[in-house]
């Protein structure tokens, strides 16, 4: 059974700092893993998708890595800005199904 | 290119009532999934529709039902509303995935905030 955990639950950093958000999953037989951003009261915006055959994906200041053997993914945000303040969620598929299992998210606050 | 659209944005209902939420998928997508997100939690899978049929269902009671239309749009119906049904309901569209390639990446709408009083 797939379980997804995100640590830390909340993070507050000064503007300009580089930071890492962590995502752990229990079933390593995944086809892909997605990172999302959610602003308060809004839907989810897809940030990065990593296929199981990949180790990293980059988009602008964001870099996501995937290590299936250890059941971990990290989202690296470079030179953080106040506009990056949001909740970041990771989601991994449940084996043999069409559904994604989500973590509870990391609530990020970047202070100006 | 229109993304996923959901209506209404907000809804207030009384216990015992019924509600219908609507979703139009991203252009080119043929699969719609519904998720429930309680405050401070990650989204929970309700069900997925493909080719107008429920393809997979999560751990939700039969009070939750859905429908997919020939144009791929979808509805989520909840009967006999309970206070605990208050949540953000998210619709996600994707291209059909297969057992060999797994589920396809999800694209979400902005959700419908349902409040049950």
Burial class of residue A16 in the structure, from the number of CB atoms within 10 Å of its CB (0-12 exposed, 13-18 middle, 19+ buried): exposed
Query: How confident is the prediction for chain A on average, in pLDDT?
Result: 94
Contact residues on chain B for A48, CB-CB shorter than 8 A: none
pLDDT at A41 over 90: no
Q: How many CA atoms lie within 13 A of A79 on its CB side?
A: 2
Question: Of A7-16, B47-56, B99-108, where does mean pLDDT reach its minimum?
Answer: B99-108
Residues forming a β-bridge with B2: none
A57, containing H or E segment: strand A56-59
Average confidence (pLDDT) over A85-91? 98
pLDDT band at B100 (very low <50, low <70, confident <90, very high): low
Is the dihedral angle over the CA atoms A3, A107, B116, B64 positive or is it negative?
negative
Contact assignment for B55 to A30 by CB distance below 8 Å: no
Give B58's DSSP letter: -
* Mean per-residue pLDDT of chain B: 93
Instruction: Write down the pLDDT at residue A95.
Output: 83
Cβ <8 Å between A36 and B108: yes
Using a 10 angstrom Cβ sphere, with 0-12 exposed, 13-18 middle and 19 or more buried, the burial of residue A18 is exposed
Residue A59 is predicted with a pLDDT of 94
Q: What is the pLDDT of residue A53?
A: 87
Nearest to A44 among B99, B101, B108 (CB): B108
């Amino acid at each position: 059974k797939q379980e997804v955990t995100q640590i830390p639950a909340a993070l507050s950093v000064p503007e300009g700092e580089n930071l890492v958000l962590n995502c752990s999953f229990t079933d390593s037989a995944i086809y892909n893993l997605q990172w999302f951003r959610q602003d308060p009261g809004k839907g989810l915006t897809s940030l990065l998708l990593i296929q199981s055959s990949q180790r990293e994906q980059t988009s602008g200041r964001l870099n996501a890595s995937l290590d299936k053997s250890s059941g971990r993914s990290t989202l690296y945000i470079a030179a953080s800005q106040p506009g990056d303040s949001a909740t970041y969620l990771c989601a991994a598929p449940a084996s043999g199904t069409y559904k994604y299992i989500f973590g509870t998210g990391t609530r990020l606050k970047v202070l100006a | 290119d229109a993304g996923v659209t959901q209506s209404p944005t907000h809804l207030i209902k009384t216990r015992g009532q019924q509600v219908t939420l609507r979703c139009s998928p991203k252009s080119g997508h043929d699969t719609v999934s519904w998720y429930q997100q309680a405050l401070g939690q990650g989204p929970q899978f309700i069900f997925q529709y493909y080719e107008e049929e429920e393809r997979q269902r999560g751990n939700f009671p039969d009070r939750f039902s859905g429908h997919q239309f020939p144009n791929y749009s979808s509805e989520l119906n909840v009967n006999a509303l309970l206070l605990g049904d208050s949540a953000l309901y998210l619709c996600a569209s994707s291209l059909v995935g297969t057992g060999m390639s797994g589920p396809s990446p999800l694209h979400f709408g902005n959700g419908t905030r349902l409040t049950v009083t």
